[in-house]
């Protein structure tokens, strides 16, 4: 069924998306911590299907599913409110040899992972078959929550977001974000350009977390989860630990300090620290996910530099989370 999508004078559109819901469920399926509260029912998926999904993909980019969004984009189902058409078309679009969309929201490493996963889906029938089976199993496990509560909730939230936009609320204010993605100014630039061109689509999500931003050939999908329950102590602890773990490893911290002085590529860092490139890439990924790095493409390589604002934000958010518990 096509998604709710009413035409308004405001050039920013608001529309829920079932493929983005599935993307978030896959994100939580590969989390490293237990799920509680509103997302407790996802814990069984994390334990039973998450590890198999990670093994099938065969790379270190956990909690990352942009290949799924590319498949939804190719199948014309990004703004569907259920996944029937997506699952009916996924096998066909997975074998499409076309180049991937622009994906300006992704880092060079993420682009390579997305391209590699799509290549495997296209060229390895057994892998493609099991991937589709896993997606079907995972969605079947959450579909009742979506049909009984989620769909109506995101439709109502979409109407609220539309009214706020019509009243002149800026889209970043609506999302509660000064910057959509710390350390990636190109994401904000893409979203702003898309908003001016009428190609920004805000997507409230039932299964969503803090923020998602994906650019697909000029169209930007940006949104977040609509459930903001008071976090449990264990969840607060897990979130704080995850946010500051980037600084817990001496080698990773040394790499950050090196990049605070002068930009460098992964190859240059590996050479200076006498480490393998995969090891450096793993450390860089953790730093990037914490918003501590900025990237600029120079020729064929990406130059990394430390993001001072991201470092300040990391400590500020960790402190606020802790203090909020004390105030409660």
Span 146-180, pLDDT tens digits: 999 999 999 999 999 999 999 999 999 999 888 88
Ramachandran angles phi, psi of 292, nearest 5°: -100, 0
The pLDDT tens digits of the residues spanning 205-225 come to 999 988 999 999 999 999 999
pTM score, whole prediction: 0.71
The pLDDT, as a whole number, for residue 320 is: 66
The set of residues, in sequence order, having a beta carbon less than 8 Å from that of 218 and lying 6+ positions away, is 102, 194, 197, 199
DSSP string spanning 154-203?
A: HHHHHHHHHHHHHTT--HHHHHT-SSSSTT-HHHHHHHHHHHHHT-EEE-
Q: 252 and 52 in contact (C-beta within 8 Å)?
A: no
The pLDDT tens digits of the residues spanning 44-64 come to 999 999 999 999 999 878 789
Q: 322 and 240 in contact (C-beta within 8 Å)?
A: yes
Q: 213 and 201 in contact (C-beta within 8 Å)?
A: no
Confidence label for 183 from pLDDT (cuts 50, 70 and 90): confident
d(Cα 1, Cα 83) in Å, to the nearest integer? 8
Tokens representing residue 111 in the block: 């682009």
The pLDDT tens digits of the residues spanning 85-102 come to 999 999 999 999 999 999
Q: 49 and 112 in contact (C-beta within 8 Å)?
A: no
Confidence label for 235 from pLDDT (cuts 50, 70 and 90): low
d(Cα 14, Cα 159) in Å, to the nearest integer? 8
The pLDDT, as a whole number, for residue 27 is: 93
Confidence label for 327 from pLDDT (cuts 50, 70 and 90): very low
Q: 310 and 260 in contact (C-beta within 8 Å)?
A: no
The pLDDT, as a whole number, for residue 231 is: 53
pLDDT at 321 over 70: no
Confidence label for 234 from pLDDT (cuts 50, 70 and 90): low
Of 208, 216, 190, 187, the closest CA to residue 16 belongs to: 208
pLDDT at 253 over 60: yes
Confidence label for 237 from pLDDT (cuts 50, 70 and 90): confident
Strands 219-223 and 301-306: unpaired
d(Cα 20, Cα 12) in Å, to the nearest integer? 18
Q: 314 and 248 in contact (C-beta within 8 Å)?
A: no
Confidence label for 6 from pLDDT (cuts 50, 70 and 90): very low
The pLDDT, as a whole number, for residue 5 is: 44
Domains contained in the chain, CATH given: 13-223 (no CATH), 233-327 (1.10.10.10)
Of 46, 151, 84, 106, the closest CA to residue 302 belongs to: 106
Q: 77 and 19 in contact (C-beta within 8 Å)?
A: yes
């Amino acid at each position: 069924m096509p998604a709710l999508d009413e035409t308004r004078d405001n050039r920013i559109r608001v529309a829920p998306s079932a493929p983005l819901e599935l993307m978030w469920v896959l994100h939580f399926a590969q989390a490293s911590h237990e799920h509680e509260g509103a997302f407790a029912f996802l814990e069984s998926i994390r334990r039973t299907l998450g590890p198999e999904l990670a093994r099938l993909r065969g790379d270190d980019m956990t909690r990352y599913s942009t290949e799924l969004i590319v498949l939804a984009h190719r199948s014309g189902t990004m703004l569907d409110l259920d996944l029937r058409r997506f699952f009916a078309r996924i096998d066909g679009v997975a074998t499409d040899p076309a180049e991937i969309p622009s994906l300006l929201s992704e880092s060079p490493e993420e682009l390579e992972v997305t391209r590699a996963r799509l290549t495997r889906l296209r060229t390895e029938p057994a892998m493609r078959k099991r991937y589709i089976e896993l997606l079907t199993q995972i969605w079947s496990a959450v579909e009742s929550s979506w049909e009984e509560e989620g769909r109506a909730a995101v439709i109502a939230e979409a109407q609220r977001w539309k009214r706020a936009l019509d009243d002149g609320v800026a889209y970043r204010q609506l999302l509660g974000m000064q910057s959509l993605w710390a350390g990636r100014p190109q994401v904000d630039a893409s979203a702003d350009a898309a908003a001016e061109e009428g190609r920004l689509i805000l997507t409230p999500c039932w299964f969503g977390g803090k923020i998602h931003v994906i650019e697909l050939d000029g169209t930007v999908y940006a949104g977040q989860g609509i459930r903001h329950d008071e976090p449990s102590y264990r969840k607060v602890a897990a979130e704080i630990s995850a946010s500051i773990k980037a600084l817990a490893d001496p080698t990773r911290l040394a790499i950050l300090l090196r990049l605070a002085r002068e930009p460098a590529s992964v190859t240059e860092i590996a050479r200076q620290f006498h480490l393998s490139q995969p090891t450096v890439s793993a450390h860089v990924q953790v730093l990037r996910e914490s918003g501590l790095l900025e990237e600029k493409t120079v020729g064929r390589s990406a130059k990394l530099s430390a993001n001072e604002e991201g470092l300040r934000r990391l400590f500020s958010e960790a402190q606020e989370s802790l203090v909020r518990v004390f105030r409660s």
